[in-house]
């Protein structure tokens, strides 16, 4: 239960809901989903962790997965010292366009690649054929400590991630 992991992404989704709601054409093409139960009780395995996203993916499996072209997962996006680290196994086209969106908004320096893959809530969606990117800043010293408090995160970081995501959605993914 932390400010960045995972309060930040919830805050970002709430604000995205407000902004997207002002653009009906965009709003009609986007579904906001809040996943609970990401953490593993013991360690990540086939049966432990990612409870909410696994449930969501199970409901969609088969033909209803086709209604989604792709997905963006936000996780730990509030760090004051923002370094978004897209996992190495990110869907290539989405990653390319996220970088391009960031470039256009002159925010490219906040986005880089992680040197490895991640198990996170994007994994069950990729597994059922919905290419989903994990927008995560995994470089966060207070991760999973009692020090993950609101003074470590900033509204500006949420603004950066939200702006890039919205630009990506409106100018690339849903154009």
Interaction site with Zn ion (CB under 5 A):
5
d(CA 163, CA 156): 10
d(CA 98, CA 169): 9
Q: Name the minimum Å distance from CB 38 to Zn ion.
A: 7
CA 118 → CA 19, 99, 136, 154, 165, distances in Å?
Answer: 29, 19, 10, 24, 20
130: number of Cβ within 10 Å: 19
- Taking the least distance from each CB to Zn ion, the nearer of 148 and 158 is 148
Structure tokens at 101: 């969106």
Q: Name the minimum Å distance from CB 23 to Zn ion.
A: 32
- Taking the least distance from each CB to Zn ion, the nearer of 5 and 121 is 5
- Taking the least distance from each CB to Zn ion, the nearer of 34 and 103 is 34
Q: Name the minimum Å distance from CB 109 to Zn ion.
A: 26
Q: Name the minimum Å distance from CB 69 to Zn ion.
A: 28
- Taking the least distance from each CB to Zn ion, the nearer of 5 and 137 is 5
């Amino acid at each position: 239960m932390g400010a960045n992991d995972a309060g930040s992404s919830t805050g970002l989704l709430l604000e995205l809901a407000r902004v997207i709601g002002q653009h009906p054409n965009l709003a009609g093409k986007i579904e906001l989903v809040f996943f609970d139960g990401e953490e593993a009780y013991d360690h990540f395995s086939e049966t432990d962790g990612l409870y909410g996203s696994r449930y969501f993916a199970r409901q969609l499996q088969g033909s209803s997965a086709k209604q989604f072209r792709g997905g963006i997962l936000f996780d730990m996006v509030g760090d004051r010292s923002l370094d978004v680290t897209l996992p190495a196994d990110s869907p290539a086209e989405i990653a390319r366009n996220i970088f391009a969106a960031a470039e256009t908004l002159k925010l490219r320096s906040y986005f880089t690649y992680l040197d490895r893959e991640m198990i996170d809530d994007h994994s069950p969606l990729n597994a059922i054929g919905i290419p989903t990117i994990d927008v995560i800043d995994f470089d966060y010293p207070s991760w999973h400590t009692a020090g993950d408090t609101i003074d470590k995160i900033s509204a500006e970081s949420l603004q950066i991630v939200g702006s890039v995501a919205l630009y990506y959605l409106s100018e690339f993914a849903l154009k």
